[in-house]
Structure 1
Amino acid sequence: MAEDGKLHVVTFPWLAFGHLIPFLEFSNLIAQKGHKISFVSTPRNIDRLPKVASASSSLINFIKLPLPHLDSLPENAEATIDVPYHKLHHLKTAFDGLQTELTQFLKASAPDWVIYDFAPHWLPPIASELGISRAFFSLFNAWTGSFFGSSITDGIASRKSMEDFTVPPEWVPFPSTVAFRLHEIKRFRNTGAEESASSVSDWVRFRSAVVGCDVLLIRTCTELEPEWLELLKDLHRKPLLPVGLLPPFTRISGGEDGDQLNTWHTIKAWLDKQEEESVVYVTLGSEVTPSQDELTQLARGLEQSGLPFFWALRKWHGSAEFHSFELPVGFEERIKGRGIVWTSWAPQVKILAHGSVGGFVTHCGWNSVIEGLQHGRPLLMLPFLGDQGLNARALAEMEAGIEIPRDEEDGSLSPDLVAESLRLVMVDNEGRAYMNKAKEMKAIFGDRNLQNRYTDNAVEYLQKHRHLHKD
């Protein structure tokens, strides 16, 4: 630690842009307090990050560690968006290969803190041996962390069947619907089977991250989920600090290149022609891979709804290994003038901020939820994997939107129910309640001062609780 009391903090996110970007957001906020950041990732990922446009950018040093080559990964694959879902365990294996170089960097730079993600199960003991304080930064909220249970008693092992995950766990002391649907657990089991047979499981990684940390930082705030935060603290018996929701204030303005600006101008021109709060914005994230049938039924539901929509349906990167899709025959012709299917990069935050957008069809990834509710958009929730289903249950409890119904067993969609859900939120009188609730939640999600106070508190904690380095 420098004589002026400033910290040197190493941040080390998992290789997914849904993790890299919040880590960068948090790193930037720490740097704005005058602290030095070493942001560690792979070369291609660092080159693809949005530029940090602030006076603190000189305090952020990007450390590029080359990802070990594996024949099982596509060429130049360094992030989850580069890799088919069923091969993500290979990316985790390559990530684990960063251990030696990261250790050498930590030895040479002797930071005060290392803030790490769920994936590097090997990092906490290394940092401890080097006398470096350790913070696990969870990008999942407290209801998700609580659902999976204690890192001390192994909350996963206590549940033996798939059905055990479809009810709230016994350690939740208050009424809740936060649990998985049966079809979500089936999908999760099917996609994770190969990984569990050949790699360190995500649960083992998560447990190691929590057990080995000095403090658990979490991307949420007390105004949103006070009872879940208390429960999570009790479960892990660790200091627990919410760092705020990190809505994307600092990274949006001024970072686009010429092509991206032209893209936004094209999209904005169409949105400008639509009535206020009339458009349904549809996107299922960059990593969700819906089945062909799910895409077909969603398309038919959008068509049946009669509502204007903007569907960001980004095609995968041209690799034959990635899922391909087809829209119903004649779909784009029939919706011409009312809907747009956009198959390249789209500026999600700017679209959600536009006054013509009234509802948000989302897979319920935490990043997307934050971006939607930051602008007060009611959610039409269509979860697929991981924490998405848990987010959908909790947000439905809060009446921030509704879930688009699926078949409980196989998760299949009905175009009629898709259309009915869209019209309920966007047109029917009953839907005003969801619109109003989402606008209320904007006061939490979109309050920059409120969220920054959480970051300030977290940084103060890091300053007060750093370990003294050995001479």
Structure 2
Amino acid sequence: MSCEQQRYKIFLFPWLAHGHISPFAELAKRLIHRNFHVFFCSTPVNLEPFRKSINDPSLEFVDLHVSSTELPEKYHTTKNLPTHLMSTLKTAIIESKETFRNILKTIKPDILVYDFMHPWASEMASEEGISSIIFYPCGAASTSCRFHYTIQPDMEFPFESLRFSETEQEKSEIINTGTNSDDSKVEFLRYFGWPSTSFIMINSSNKIEGKYISYLSEQVKKEVVPVGFLIQEPVAKSDDSVFLDWLSKKNTKSVVFVSFGSEYFLTKEETEEVALGLEISGVSFIWVVRFPVGEKVDLDDALPQGFQNRVGDRGMIVEGWAPQAKILMHSSVGGFLSHCGWNSILEAVTCRVPVIAMPKQLDQPMNSRLVAELEIGIEVRRDGEEFSREEIANAIKKVVVEEDGKQMARNVDKLSSEVRGNRDDEMNTTVSRLVQLAKGG
């Protein structure tokens, strides 16, 4: 019986960070268009914006009410969560497992697709007789790199472009600490679907990470199935016109867009180096400046004295939010100064914009190395351990002004077309594997 003849119920359970929830939401849209009935489960504060933007009878939102007296509901998400409360949130989610079990018992989905950050969810589904599949919203290069350096740190990583020294591994958190014992390695393997899931879904494409997808499959001894880029289509908002009107006055590929993601904040020193790097470069820019919620920071105080007056109309500085995808898609944008979060990399490729990489933590250093390997951008050279204004300026000019940048633009344009051309095939393969699983295969 085909997917068209029988409608399967699929239950999506992302981790509580925007970088995880966003690709899960895009996966939900693609699955309902392929005749699945989708249940999307998260905390109410995370689901609220999606309830407003996605209205389809084939998609049902399921509230997971976290059992915690220590965290108010607004903190049942990593967005705007004070750093010292992260462990409290993780504990609260684990303590809500029985609530999650009751949800599964009520809905009785054919398949649970769960985030690797929730390894216990698969075990719970298995106890209830429900098939489950793990989903990685991050890339295969960073995931295979992390797996390799954690499970077999004494062996050389086979891909030279992603090899890291021991110091670099520690600083970028490539290795999960405490995995020297056999027991801890078994625990680590739970984050790769061991022992319950038959394959791994990943937010990537063979056109950008084919060799890393194959290597990851070999490492974890499971098929790794790329679903294609799960990037949400930009939604038109009235506020967009401010940015688009400003961009329309600039020359083609002459502007650099600067954003470091929604959950990483520059230090005072880093903010100053980025500002002065932009000033020295002479390139026009849109810069999204963010500060942690609860910290009362005046934008004028955060930026170097006189900076805004000196750059004048060459720069647009906005605090908090900007329509990233809409800006990247504009013909005036020629570079993206980014922290290299995976979703930002996928948006850069989709929008055909070279990357100027300033990675800081988690998977960002690996993603930055991948950008350089694919020749769709460059990493800002560090001055010692930190990024300096001079190197930031040099990297911006290389990508946006100089001849090297024109070749990077051609490379990312070609790669974007290849990824887009392969998108339906990769999603269809994913759907076939899910249908097979739902049938008990």
Q: Which amino acid aligns with 1:219?
A: N
In structure 2, C-alpha distance between the alignment counterparts of 1:290 and 1:185, rounded to whole Å: 20
Work out whether residues 119 and 206 of structure 1, in 8 Å CA contact, stay in contact via their aligned partners in 2. Answer: no
SS of equivalent residue, structure 1 residue 402: strand
Work out whether residues 139 and 218 of structure 1, in 8 Å CA contact, stay in contact via their aligned partners in 2. Answer: yes
**Displacement after TM superposition at 1:52 (Å):** 4.6
Query: Could you say which residue in structure 1 is the equivalent of 2:113?
Result: 115
In structure 1, C-alpha distance between the alignment counterparts of 2:245 and 2:390, rounded to whole Å: 31
- Is 1:435 aligned with 2:409? yes
- Is 1:332 aligned with 2:298? no
Query: Could you say which residue in structure 1 is the equivalent of 2:398?
Result: 424
Q: Which amino acid aligns with 1:210?
A: G
In structure 1, C-alpha distance between the alignment counterparts of 2:386 and 2:4, rounded to whole Å: 60
Structure 1 unaligned blocks of 5 or more: 255-260
128, 135, 138: which one pairs with 2:136?
138
Change (3 A) 1:367 1:4: same
Query: Could you say which residue in structure 1 is the equivalent of 2:28?
Result: 27
Q: Which amino acid aligns with 2:279?
A: E
Query: Could you say which residue in structure 2 is the equivalent of 1:79?
Result: 77
In structure 2, C-alpha distance between the alignment counterparts of 1:325 and 1:243, rounded to whole Å: 44
223, 227, 235: which one pairs with 1:253?
235
Change (3 A) 1:95 1:277: same
Structure 2 unaligned blocks of 5 or more: none
Change (3 A) 1:451 1:307: same
Deviations 1:153-191 (A, max 9, x none): xx51543xxxx7xxxx52x4454334378467336499x
Deviations 1:8-41 (A, max 9, x none): 0000000011111100100110111111111000
In structure 2, C-alpha distance between the alignment counterparts of 1:111 and 1:302, rounded to whole Å: 51
**Displacement after TM superposition at 1:330 (Å):** 1.4
Deviations 1:375-401 (A, max 9, x none): 110100000111100011111011110
- Is 1:276 aligned with 2:261? no
SS of equivalent residue, structure 1 residue 14: coil
Query: Could you say which residue in structure 2 is the equivalent of 1:257?
Result: none
- Is 1:62 aligned with 2:61? yes
Change (3 A) 1:179 1:52: farther
SS of equivalent residue, structure 1 residue 355: coil
In structure 2, C-alpha distance between the alignment counterparts of 1:216 and 1:279, rounded to whole Å: 38
236, 240, 251: which one pairs with 2:220?
236
Work out whether residues 138 and 203 of structure 2, in 8 Å CA contact, stay in contact via their aligned partners in 1. Answer: yes
199, 205, 212: which one pairs with 1:221?
205
Change (3 A) 1:275 1:149: same
**Displacement after TM superposition at 1:50 (Å):** 6.9
**TM-score w.r.t. length of structure 1:** 0.85
In structure 2, C-alpha distance between the alignment counterparts of 1:297 and 1:458, rounded to whole Å: 44
Work out whether residues 328 and 353 of structure 2, in 8 Å CA contact, stay in contact via their aligned partners in 1. Answer: yes
Query: Could you say which residue in structure 1 is the equivalent of 2:193?
Result: 210
**TM-score w.r.t. length of structure 2:** 0.90
Work out whether residues 399 and 406 of structure 2, in 8 Å CA contact, stay in contact via their aligned partners in 1. Answer: yes
Work out whether residues 174 and 362 of structure 2, in 8 Å CA contact, stay in contact via their aligned partners in 1. Answer: no
Which shifted more, 204-213 or 306-315? 204-213
In structure 2, C-alpha distance between the alignment counterparts of 1:337 and 1:33, rounded to whole Å: 47
In structure 2, C-alpha distance between the alignment counterparts of 1:293 and 1:3, rounded to whole Å: 56
In structure 1, C-alpha distance between the alignment counterparts of 2:127 and 2:334, rounded to whole Å: 52
346, 354, 376: which one pairs with 1:378?
354
**Displacement after TM superposition at 1:142 (Å):** 1.4
Change (3 A) 1:210 1:226: same
**Displacement after TM superposition at 1:205 (Å):** 6.2
Change (3 A) 1:3 1:189: closer
SS of equivalent residue, structure 2 residue 113: strand
Work out whether residues 7 and 37 of structure 2, in 8 Å CA contact, stay in contact via their aligned partners in 1. Answer: yes
What is the percentage of aligned positions where both structures have the same residue?
30
Deviations 1:37-58 (A, max 9, x none): 110001111002374557xx21
Please tell me the root mean square deviation across aligned C-alpha atoms, in Å.
3.0
In structure 1, C-alpha distance between the alignment counterparts of 2:15 and 2:334, rounded to whole Å: 33
SS of equivalent residue, structure 2 residue 361: coil
Q: Which amino acid aligns with 2:61?
A: F
Change (3 A) 1:206 1:315: farther
Work out whether residues 305 and 420 of structure 1, in 8 Å CA contact, stay in contact via their aligned partners in 2. Answer: yes
Change (3 A) 1:158 1:202: closer
Work out whether residues 80 and 263 of structure 2, in 8 Å CA contact, stay in contact via their aligned partners in 1. Answer: no
Deviations 1:192-216 (A, max 9, x none): 99x99xxxx9994663442132221
- Is 1:43 aligned with 2:37? no
**Displacement after TM superposition at 1:289 (Å):** 2.2
SS of equivalent residue, structure 1 residue 216: strand
165, 171, 176: which one pairs with 1:186?
171
In structure 2, C-alpha distance between the alignment counterparts of 1:468 and 1:141, rounded to whole Å: 28
What is the correspondence of 1:343-362 to structure 2 with a 5 Å cutoff? 343-362=319-338
In structure 1, C-alpha distance between the alignment counterparts of 2:209 and 2:171, rounded to whole Å: 28
Work out whether residues 120 and 205 of structure 1, in 8 Å CA contact, stay in contact via their aligned partners in 2. Answer: no
298, 302, 307: which one pairs with 2:278?
302
SS of equivalent residue, structure 1 residue 328: coil
